[in-house]
Chain A
């Protein structure tokens, strides 16, 4: 018990780390909530208007009026386009052909060209997607002016779980995942390996404390720290973004505890394998954090990746955890929807624990000799 107290004191004495520990989720919430957008807002586009008639003016107006675009340049010739793109400010150029209005009246059909800067592919497809959406809207207003009893199909849409189409619904569960890895896996492994490096681990081993007590003592504070951090994140998300937890909070917290345990056991496992802090950091970073961030479905949906990543990400605990907390938090799903993933996470945790126990025992035997 005294040992656990000592660990707690160690942690709280390190004010800088503590501040950062709570600063990380706060800053991430802020960034993902307000800065990083996978959507378009006031994207700079240029216009090459060869028509200069009322149709093109109307369309340019519509583009300007939308939240997505800001028309910043008017080009005079096709040859200017490359140079303008090279400067790097314009995302796309909209080209209106000559005699646009006349063509429209005569043929009923006209084509407007878009040249998008595809060095940012996501922006490029959004630009073309939204531009054609605006063109479609305009076409619909033209049709209304002509209506002759022709069938015009009207699809109505209902956006589930996120009617205001906020982009941060996706991210908050991901932030929780990230922060928990940091706290439970990284901190644990670093803290245990540090004792090894400084030789104080041996001192602990010869003390009356049993090995499992040492480990639990080291790990317990991080468990509570992580849990506390999760609660803070949820509160911040609620107060700042009005992001509710639609499902059962108890279930959410329980799943978080399981995940924290997973992180802790991973940290312990790593600490039995390496003896230098730098190595522990490298493994946790490259093996858990980076893949956890990029391959787990946090930012980039797994369905969009090549099929093989579906299988690769199966060994990543964060992938399963995201599939648990996203439905619970945003869709309000109950345990019936997530029991499979929960089982998998529990299995992984058990695996890490058993492996660490065996490795630790081997080390002890080595030392005893």
Chain B
């Protein structure tokens, strides 16, 4: 036990001796929170709409001003022809081009059929589809206006509209959604990267062999390496949460205790992973890449940016062993919906099983090393 305390003292001393790292551990979570959280959003703010009005009638101008008046569109150029329109799409100056044919007002009067041509930059397909659906709803509104001014009863043009309400996040604030995700990335960076690098450094510089010939037991060494990063991870988590609360007014509906308990289990899982990976490599560069490889995969598949339920079967099955997926779910449910212990119990148990699994693998790996 005394040996363990000595080792811990040594570890903390070493960390303090690297002032850069020390500053990084405090500043990085803060900076990440402040800079990254407000930026990551899929919300489509403003689409650049170019309009070619070949009709130039009051009707077409009415339509254009309706579009310009909506919050989704910002009218930009007015290309002369299709070639001009395509040029705008190619250069990225317009996200969407509306071409009003010269017989538009005749179409509205019933002489021909009223048509509209829309060209959309579909490189970002989700954005393209949203843009298209915004446009069609404005057009439909306009259509209703035109019909009603004819004095026709609305029953002639029946419609079902939807009235959406958003729970748990009424303003569709992306920050509320992304903050738990960014917090998780933080924990992984500290837990997996720094802890693992630390371990492998001993191996690489040969000091591990030296330690092996001392009376220090293997478990004492491993625990002494893991505890400082465990503590750092929790501190960073608290720091990140505080920043989120102060800067972004993040709600916290559920129990903070539950939150930290699950994060602690997650940290153990991550540190177990770090231990396990460190048994597979022989120097820090290799560790860097192995750890980064798995980190990327785990994070991307976890549903941090996009819902994991939209993923194909094989991806969802993969997530059974992805600790990040569990924590992501747990974090969001506890923070945003106020889920209680019984709601997340299954996820929590699975996470604990995973944690134990990684630790087991790590221990086996170390035994082999010996």
B158 proximal to A (CB < 8 A):
yes
**The residue from A121, A166, A190 contacting B285, defined by CB atoms under 8 A apart:** A190
Question: Which residues of A, 113-132, contact B by the 8 Å Cβ criterion?
Answer: 113-126, 128-132
Interface residues of chain A, those whose CB is within 8 Å of chain B, are 14, 16-17, 20-21, 23-24, 27-28, 31-32, 34-44, 59, 82, 85-89, 91, 104-126, 128-133, 135-136, 138-139, 142-143, 146, 148-163, 165-167, 169-170, 182, 186-187, 190-191, 194, 274, 276-279, 281-282, 285-286, 290-291, 294-295, 299-301, 303-306, 309, 312, 323, 326-327, 330-333, 337
Rounded to whole Å, the gap between the CB of A67 and the closest CB of chain B is: 11
User: Chain B residues in contact with chain A, CB under 8 A?
Assistant: 18, 20-21, 24, 28, 31-32, 35-36, 38-46, 86, 89-92, 107-110, 113-130, 132-133, 135-137, 139-140, 142-143, 146-147, 150, 152-170, 172-174, 176-177, 185, 189, 193-194, 197, 201, 280-281, 284-286, 288-290, 292-293, 296-297, 300-301, 305-307, 309-312, 315, 329, 332-333, 336-340, 343
Question: B118 and A162: CB pair below 8 A?
Answer: no
Partner of A118, one of B32, B156, B163, B169: B169
Q: In the complex the two chains form, is B197's CB within 8 Å of A108's CB?
A: no
CB pair A153–B168 under 8 Å, yes or no, is no
Residues of chain A contacted by B45 (CB below 8 angstroms): 303-304
CB of B137 within 8 A of CB of A136, answer yes
Residues of A within 8 A of B310 (CB): 37, 39-43, 123
16 inter-chain pairs at a CB distance below 8 angstroms, sorted by A residue, are A35-B300, A39-B310, A108-B158, A108-B159, A110-B160, A110-B161, A124-B169, A129-B133, A136-B137, A136-B140, A155-B118, A155-B139, A161-B121, A182-B292, A278-B18, A332-B90
Q: Is B41 in contact with A27, judged by CB distance below 8 angstroms? A: no
The one of A163, A182, A301 in contact with B122, judged by C-beta atoms closer than 8 angstroms, is A163
Question: Does the CB pair B110–A160 fall under 8 Å?
Answer: no
Known: A24-B292, A38-B42, A88-B329. A138 touches B160 (CB 8 A): yes
Do residues B161 and A35 form an inter-chain contact, with CB atoms below 8 A?
A: no
| Closest partner residue, chain B, to A38 (CB atom) | B126
Flag if B113 contacts A154 (CB, 8 Å). yes
A124-B172, A158-B118, A161-B122 given as contacts; is B160 within 8 A of A151 (CB)?
no
For the complex, give the distance between the alpha carbons of A110 and B38 in Å. 38
Q: Is the CB of B28 within 8 A of A17?
A: no
CB-based nearest A residue for B85: A160
Flag if A166 contacts B166 (CB, 8 Å). Answer: no
Known contacts: A86-B339, A121-B174, A132-B137. The answer to whether A167 contacts B167 by CB under 8 A is: no
Q: Specify which chain A residues have a CB less than 8 angstroms from the CB of B193 in the assembled complex.
A: 281, 285
CA distance A321 to B58 in the complex (A): 44
Known: A109-B158, A276-B20, A304-B42. A160 touches B121 (CB 8 A): yes
Per the bound structure, the CA–CA distance linking A186 and B113 in Å amounts to 60
Contact of B46 among A34, A123, A303 (CB under 8 A): A303
Asked if A282 and B28 sit within 8 Å, CB to CB, the answer is: yes
* Contact for A190 among B140, B288, B332, CB less than 8 A: B288
Bound complex: CA A129 to CA B172 (Å): 13
Are B161 and A109 within 8 A (Cβ)? yes
Q: Min CB distance, A177 to chain B, in Å?
A: 14
The 5 lowest CB-CB distance pairs between A and B, nearest first, are: A108-B155, A118-B169, A118-B166, A159-B122, A162-B122
List chain A residues, Cβ under 8 A from B312: 34-35
Chain A residues within 8 Å of B152, by CB: 150
Bound form: Cα–Cα A135–B306 in Å? 25
| Contact indicator B173/A121 (Cβ below 8 Å) | yes
Q: Out of A156, A194, A295, which one reaches B117, CB within 8 Å?
A: A156
